[in-house]
Structure 1
Amino acid sequence: MGDDEEIAEKLIVVALWCIQWNPKDRPTMTKVVQMLLGELQDLGMPPRPFATSSISED
């Protein structure tokens, strides 16, 4: 994976953490900075940011 791809993936994972529905699940700004400065493999994927009981297809 190239550097640009790794940076893009890291930004996406951090963004997903930041849009968690429950504010308690969102990282602090200090944690966000640590996540951005750290290695991609150290980041875990967040749970789904929006809770849905069912998915309807129209």
Structure 2
Amino acid sequence: MSGEQKAKGKMEEATGKAKETIGQAVGNERMTAEGQAKKSKGAARQAKEKTKDVFKH
């Protein structure tokens, strides 16, 4: 399950980065902000899973 959540975090981070980049390219501030938020959410999910792994071992 942990691997699944890590993968989900990486995917959120990647899609957030893409959305942020597209938003910047077309000058859409809302899309840029949404991308940044999604990227942060993915990073937080990965950090949570890494912390769980540390205490698991």
TM-score of the pair, normalised by structure 2: 0.38
Where is the helix percentage greater, Structure 1 or Structure 2?
2
TM-score by length of 1: 0.37
